[in-house]
Structure 1
Amino acid sequence: MDRTDRAIIDELRRDGRLTNVELAQRVGLTAAPCLRRVRQLEEDGVIVGYHARVDPAALDRGFEVLVNVDLATKDRDVVLGFEEHVATLDEVVECRRMFGLPDYFLRVALPDLAAYEAFATDGLGAIPGVAQIDSRLTMKVIKAEPA
């Protein structure tokens, strides 16, 4: 990947709706070679998709909570059961298994605090093997990559 490929990626990350002509102008290429490069980046798996960023509040998911989850035991059945269950929860927008503690880091999006309380109690808290749930509320987002 060269400087031009990186420029293409940077421009598409800022605005995935650019036409090929606009993209080519921004990166200093003509349309045909620009399109070939974009297609190659797609075929190589560098560009994996194009998405619309939507205001979470418009979907009644404007209240975001960062959640650390620790499991009581780390045996295979508990871990797989937790991961399978969490993957089905619409409120969970991101789930990462961590090295060390916590066992899992989740980003959860809901309408409000009351909805989170119900989710923590009846959703996460009801999953077999969960030992501890530690919630963090964001005061201010300083920097975030586009979703």
Structure 2
Amino acid sequence: MDSLDQQILAELTADGRATYATIGGVVGLSAPAVKRRVDRLLDDGVIDHFTAVVDPAALGWGIEALIDVYCQGRIAPADLRSAWEPIPEIVQASTVAGSADAVLRVRARDVAHLEETLENIRDSADIERTESTIVLSRLIERG
């Protein structure tokens, strides 16, 4: 991957709907050259997929929380994934180093919905306890 690929990725990250001609104008390549590079980045797995980013608040999911999960004993990451995949409010789940075993990013309509989601999380696996932090504002988010 060279500097032109990095510039193309930066343009696509900023605007995934930008045309190859628009991107080419910024990076100094023709539209077909940009398309070839994007196709190669897709084939190489650098670009995983294209998607629309929807504002959850616009859909009524105005609460975001970070949940530290503490498991009882040892639980395999695959078992946690299986337990949490059916819970649609969990938008991201990661195992972590430190005192918690995992951190979840959760979306909910309101505090009552968040509380219900927390109960579902606690019941989904061998969870000792959780600690929740409600996000007030997101200052930086990078793809």
Alignment TM-score, normalising by the size of structure 1: 0.90
The match for 2:82 is 84
Equivalent position amino acid for 1:110 in 2: A
The match for 2:11 is 11
The match for 2:41 is 41
Identity %: 31
The answer on whether the counterparts of 1:82 and 1:129 sit within 8 Å (CA) in structure 2 is no
Displacement, 1:128? 3.5
CA 1:128–1:20 in 2, change beyond 3 Å: closer, same or farther?
closer
The match for 1:137 is 134
Aligned residue for 1:4, secondary structure, equals helix
Equivalent position amino acid for 2:95 in 1: R
Gaps of 5+ in 1: none
The match for 2:124 is 127
- Kindly report which structure 2 residues correspond to 1:35-74, keeping only aligned pairs within 5 A, or say none: 35-74=35-74
State the Cα deviation string for residues 43-85 of structure 1 (Å, max 9, x = none). 1111111111111012222210100000011154xx5443311
CA 1:33–1:81 in 2, change beyond 3 Å: closer, same or farther?
closer
CA 1:21–1:80 in 2, change beyond 3 Å: closer, same or farther?
closer
Gaps of 5+ in 2: none
Q: Distance in 2 between matches of 1:119 and 1:145?
A: 26
| Structure 1 runs of 4+ with >6 Å offset | none
Q: Aligned residue pairs: how many?
A: 143
Displacement, 1:17? 0.3
Q: Distance in 1 between matches of 2:31 and 2:141?
A: 31
Aligned residue for 2:52, secondary structure, equals coil
Aligned residue for 1:68, secondary structure, equals strand
The match for 2:27 is 27
Displacement, 1:25? 0.7
CA 1:139–1:30 in 2, change beyond 3 Å: closer, same or farther?
same
CA 1:106–1:51 in 2, change beyond 3 Å: closer, same or farther?
same
Displacement, 1:88? 1.2
In angstroms, what is the RMSD of aligned CA positions?
1.4
- Kindly report which structure 2 residues correspond to 1:99-118, keeping only aligned pairs within 5 A, or say none: 99-118=97-116
